[in-house]
Amino acid sequence: MLSGLKILDFSTLLPGPYATLLLSDLGAEVLRVESPSRPDLVRFVPPFHEGVSTASLYLFRGKRSLALDLKKPEGVERVRELVREFDIVVEQFRPGVMERLGVGYAALREINPRAIYCSITGYGQTGPLRDRAGHDINYLALSGIAGNSGRADSGPPPFGVQVADLAGGSLHAAVAILAAVVERQRTGVGRHLDISMTDCAFALQALSAAAWLGSGAAQGPESGPLNGGSFYDYYRTSDGRYLSVGGLEPQFLERLGQVLGCEAEAPLGLSQDPADQAKLRAALAAAIAREPLAHWRERFAREDCCVEPVLTLEEAAASPLAEARGWIVRVPVKDREIRQPAMPIKWGDRRIKNQESESKPA
């Protein structure tokens, strides 16, 4: 779908490389530019497959790589040559670094006015924190997401996925790049895209931020129906596993109460009173704690009331849903194959391939 787009990728670690992975999987040609003296740290993230980081095998999938020292004139000159052809640039340095190297947006635009230049940073090209270092956990902290998550008595959790890096940085960068491509088709010129992972993380709070900004309603851990302030929650089974219970609608609540023997307490789920929600949570917790996860998986498999088991990554990848939807692909690596997450975007007019289908080499 993106055949013909050519991307020069200077980014490292996770946000930029994941954005260009998505674009590569959709058909764009991606050429990674990496320092010969300071390799991407993702190459050293364990575990390894035959001495190569599995993270790098995934994030670099389908891309070509070029070692260039941008501190040397010949390295800068090579970039200036490449940008005539690779007219979409993705970089992830702190503001001002690419300019000092002589390959910032203004310099490359002079060579190719069609250049689309996407800068991904923690805090943006402007503002009081533009030069400050950060990681996903910091962006979540400053955006308000961490402060609105977890339990009131134990604080925010370390999330199992890098929300600000991926949902904030990668996805917004990919959307912005494609929007700029559409604009360029109309105007013939590119533009500089300023993607701040903290900006984007704040905007992800579609419900909580909108509620506070629109009404002044206070937000915090366990204060809303979707962040622990209602029965919408995880419940421990007798064998130490968990069930997710999300049936907020009346019909789901009623059936949930019938299955768990909590018919008397189930209507409390419709109440806005925290005390009523606490009573229902206690009743659900007591009922679910009586049986192991396998029992509840079998029981709720026959019900349609938004109750599902909390699976490990291994269990999720081996599930019938993963197989039917093609979550996993086999990717050639040298003389072997390695399994990786598949491109998740599906086309309605094309049959989904088997989950063990091939993908471009890593």
| pLDDT at residue 348 greater than cutoff 90 | no
Strand order through the sheet with 307-309: 233-236, 242-245, 307-309
Known catalytic residue: 194? no
The pLDDT tens digits for 259-306 are: 999 999 999 999 999 999 999 999 999 999 999 999 999 999 999 999
Q: Percentage of the chain with pLDDT > 90?
A: 91
User: Tokens representing 191?
Assistant: 């533009």
The mean per-residue pLDDT over the stretch 307-313 comes to 98
| Residue 92 near residue 122, CB atoms below 8 Å | no
Q: What is the C-alpha separation between 124 and 139, in angstroms, rounded?
A: 11
| CA dist 278 → 199, 225, 265, 271 (Å) | 34, 12, 10, 11
Q: Of 87, 165, 199, 233, which one is the catalytic site residue? A: 165
In the chain, where does the domain assigned CATH 3.40.50.10540 lie?
6-203
- How far is it, in rounded angstroms, from Cα 354 to Cα 358? 9
Residue 74 near residue 39, CB atoms below 8 Å:
no
Q: From CA 123, how far away is CA 109, in angstroms rounded?
A: 24
Taking residues 199-226, what's their average pLDDT?
Answer: 94
d(CA 52, CA 313): 22
Tell me what pLDDT residue 354 has: 45
Whether omega for the bond prior to residue 47 falls within 30 degrees of 0, making it cis, is yes
When the pLDDT of each residue in the chain is averaged and rounded to a whole number, the result is: 94
Q: How high is the pLDDT of residue 350?
A: 64
pLDDT one-digit tens code per residue, 40-85 = 899 999 999 888 999 999 999 999 999 999 999 999 999 999 999 9
Q: What is the pLDDT of residues 95-133, one digit of tens each?
A: 999 999 999 999 999 999 999 999 999 999 999 999 999
* Annotated catalytic residue 192: no
> For the packed helices 15-25 and 171-187, what is the interaxial angle rounded to 10 degrees?
60
What pLDDT does 334 receive? 81
Q: Provide the pLDDT for residue 5.
A: 97
Which regions of the chain carry the CATH code 3.30.1540.10? 233-310
- State mean pLDDT over 311-332: 96
What Cα–Cα distance (Å) separates residue 133 from each residue in 10, 94, 193? 18, 8, 20
Burial bucket for residue 291 (CB in 10 Å: 0-12, 13-18, 19+): middle
Q: Top-level CATH class of 6-203?
A: alpha beta
Give the DSSP H or E segment for 110. Answer: helix 105-111
Q: Is the pLDDT of residue 358 over 80?
A: no
Q: What is the pTM of this model?
A: 0.92
The CATH number that domain 233-310 falls under is 3.30.1540.10
Q: Which of 26-30, 79-83, 355-359 has the lowest mean pLDDT?
A: 355-359
Which one is catalytic: 49, 69, 135, 194? Answer: 135
Separation of alpha carbons 33 and 153, rounded Å: 46
